[in-house]
Structure 1
Amino acid sequence: MNNFGLFERYARAYHSGETDDEDDESGARNSDSNDTAAPPRSLQDILSDSAVAGLPALPFPDDINELINGGPPIENAAAKRQFVPPAGTTSPADLFKPMMNACTVPGPRWIYHDPATGVNSVLIFTGGLALNDGQENARAGYSVIFRPDARVEIGQALEFVPGYALTQDRAHLRAAVAALRLRYWAGEGFWRIVIGATSEYVVQNAGERLERWRANRWKYSNGRAVKNKDLWMLLLEELELFERKGVSVQFYLLDAQSAARVMKVAKRGATSNKIPIELTDVLVAAC
C-alpha cells in the first residue's frame, strides 16, 4: 500500500463517507472559507476520533528536553539532506506508518522509528502546482499534508512577490518552507524531518548545491542569478535552524501515485480567489 493508500484509509474513517471530490470543505483546506471556526477540541475528543483511535503511540522520548532545547549541531549537514531508504524498501510507505506523536496534545503523523539508531522521523508531504505556468495569467498554489487522518490539509495560494513570477517551481519551494515553519517538529519527538516532495527542483537542489549558490553570492556557476533566491534563502534559514539543534532535515522525491493527493490539494490554492501580496506563514491550531 502506498503512502496515500494509508492516507485514504484513515481519511475515510475520519470523514465517515466524505469523498475526495468535496473540495470546498471548511477549515485549513480552503483558505477562502468563511465558515465559523470549530471550537477547540479536548484531548479526549482527539483521542477518541475513529481515525486515530487505536493508533500506536510514539514512546515519549527520554531526551525530550534535548529535542526542545537542542542537541549537538549536525556536521556536514548539506551533504546529508537526501533521504535514502534502507535497502529493501521502495518507498517511504514501507517505513513510515500512522502513529501518534509525542506531543503534549498528541496528533497522528507518518512516523518511522529506526530500531538501529533509535531516531524518530516524521514524513511531511508537500506539493506545488501552477496553472498556465510561465504565462502572465499564471496562478499557483502549494500544499502541505502532515496528518494521516486528513483532518488538516493545507492548500494555499502562492504569494505574489514583485520580481518573481508565479511558477510551479516556486510553488514547490514555498511548500517546503511552509512545512518546516508549520510546527516545531522536534518538540513532537522527532530528530529527523523528511520532506516528501513532488519536485526534483527542490529535492536535487536543497543540499550541497544550495550551499554552493550561497558561497557564490547567489549566482549559478555561469554567473546568472539564482532563480527564486528569496525562497531558497528562507529554506536555507529554516534548514539551519533545525540542523544547529541536531535535527536533520532530508528530502525525498515522491512517486506519481503518492504525489497525486498533494497536487490535488495544491490546486485548491492555485484556484483561490485571492492572491496574497506578501509571504504569510500558515497557522494551524490543530495538533
Structure 2
Amino acid sequence: MTSRDPDYDSEREDNPRRVLNTDGYFRKDGATRPFVFKLEEFKPRIVDKNGKEHQPRGTDMIYTVRPVPNPILVQHAREVMCPSSEGQNGETAIWTATLNPPPSEPTASPGTLFAPREVNTATAGIHNIRLVPRRRYVSRIDSLKLKTMLITVSGFCIDNGPADSRAGWSFIFRPGPVGLVSGVLERQGPEHDDGSPGSVHGATVTRAEIRAAIAALEFRVWWGEGWERLIIASDSEYLVCGATSWMRTWAARGWRTSGGARVKNRDLWEKLAGLLEVFAEGGTEVSFWQIPKRWNVEAHRAAKEAAESGEVVEEFVKPTGVMV
C-alpha cells in the first residue's frame, strides 16, 4: 500500500478504523505470519504461585487496540524478569528489569545504536499497513524486525535544604517536542494499596530518577504497540542497578540494606516493580542501560527546567500519552 491507498488513509488518526471484525478482533495477513489484534477492555490479571488471580499494583483498566500477547514472548519476559524466590518474613521477591549489556565500542552511543523511524511493530516495522505508524527510537541492529525501542530518562534536584528542595524528571521517546515529557516531582508518593494517598517525601535526585522511569513506563501502553523489548537509558547508576538487581536483594531482606537500615524510596521501587510485572505479562522485556551524562544532555536539561519552574505538585499523577 501507499499513502494514497484508501484503506491506508482510513487508518490515519483523524479517520475511523474499518478493519475491526464484529467480534472485536482483526487480523493482518501477508507477512511472515498473521498478526491478531483485539479492541477490548484490558485489565491485566496475574496468577500467583498459589493460583490466586490479582491485578498488578498501579494498573488501571485500559481501553486499547493491542496485539494479543505472543505466548513465547510472555514466557521469555517472565523468565528473565520474574522473582526467583521468597524473601524474609515470607515476602515475595520483587520483579526486576534486565540489564542492557554495555556496547562493545566506547562510541556506541544511543544515537549510534538507535535511530528515529516511523514504524509499526505489529508488522515488523513495515510502513504499508492498516495501522497508524508511530515515530520511535528504534534499534539499528535489529533493522529487520524493529522490535526494540529506546527511552532516555533523567532526574534533577535543587537541594536548598529539606524544606524547600525541588526536583524534576523527564523522558524522551521520540524526536521533537511531542517526544519530550517532563514534570515536577510530587510531594506525595504513589497511593497505598488501600487507595489512601501516598506518604509525603522530601525531594531528592534519586526519587526524581526513579520517578522518570515510572513516568516513562506509564505514559503509553507500550506493549500494546508490539514492542518485544523496551530499553530505558539513564546516567544514574542508582536507578539502573536498583531496577535490575538491588530491588530483588532488598525485597529478600524485607526491604533492608546490608547494614539493616530501611531502604529509601521503597514506595517508588515497589511502584516500578509492579509496572515491570505488567510489562512481562504483556510480553515486553524491560531493560535498563547506564549511559554517560554526555549522552543524556537533552533529558537532563528538561528535568532541570522542570525543577526550576517553581511549580509545586502535591499528589502523585500519571502522565498519559494517546496516539503520539
Q: TM-score, normalised by structure 1?
A: 0.72
1:254 CA displacement: 2.3
Q: Which residue of 1 aligns with 2:157?
A: 130
1:117 CA displacement: 9.3
Contact 1:172–1:198 under 8 Å retained in 2: no
Change (3 A) 1:260 1:115: closer
Q: Which residue of 2 aligns with 1:68?
A: 67
Q: Which amino acid aligns with 2:234?
A: A
Q: Which deviates further from its counterpart, 226-235 or 204-213? A: 204-213
Q: Which amino acid aligns with 1:82?
A: L
Which residue of the other structure, out of 255, 266, 286, is the alignment partner of 1:218? 255
Identity %: 30
> In structure 2, what is the Cα distance between the partners aligned to 1:265 and 1:165?
20
**Which has the larger Rg?**
2
> In structure 2, what is the Cα distance between the partners aligned to 1:250 and 1:283?
21
Change (3 A) 1:62 1:169: farther
1:85 CA displacement: 5.0
Name structure 1 gaps, 5 residues minimum.
1-41, 45-58
> In structure 2, what is the Cα distance between the partners aligned to 1:275 and 1:259?
25
Name structure 2 gaps, 5 residues minimum.
1-11, 15-30, 39-65, 83-95, 122-130, 189-198
Q: Which residue of 1 aligns with 2:172?
A: 145
> In structure 2, what is the Cα distance between the partners aligned to 1:148 and 1:217?
41
Q: Which residue of 2 aligns with 1:12?
A: none
RMSD: 2.9
Q: Which deviates further from its counterpart, 99-108 or 135-144? A: 99-108
Q: 5 Å matches for 1:266-285?
A: 266-285=303-322
1:116 CA displacement: 9.5
Q: Which amino acid aligns with 2:100?
A: F
Q: Which amino acid aligns with 2:314?
A: I
Change (3 A) 1:112 1:265: same
Change (3 A) 1:211 1:148: same
Q: Which amino acid aligns with 2:101?
A: V
Change (3 A) 1:137 1:86: closer
1:102 CA displacement: 1.1
Contact 2:156–2:168 under 8 Å retained in 1: yes
1:208 CA displacement: 2.5
> In structure 2, what is the Cα distance between the partners aligned to 1:171 and 1:281?
14
Q: Which deviates further from its counterpart, 107-116 or 233-242? A: 107-116
Q: Which deviates further from its counterpart, 250-259 or 72-81? A: 72-81
Q: Which amino acid aligns with 1:128?
A: G
Q: Which amino acid aligns with 2:111?
A: A
Task: Say yes or no: does 1:111 pair with 2:138.
Answer: yes
Q: TM-score, normalised by structure 2?
A: 0.64
1:61 CA displacement: 8.4
Q: 5 Å matches for 1:246-265?
A: 246-265=283-302
Q: Which has the higher strand share?
A: 2
Q: Which residue of 1 aligns with 2:90?
A: none
> In structure 1, what is the Cα distance between the partners aligned to 2:162 and 2:32?
50
User: SS of the counterpart of 2:178?
Assistant: coil
Q: Which residue of 2 aligns with 1:201?
A: 238
> In structure 2, what is the Cα distance between the partners aligned to 1:212 and 1:237?
16
User: SS of the counterpart of 1:207?
Assistant: helix
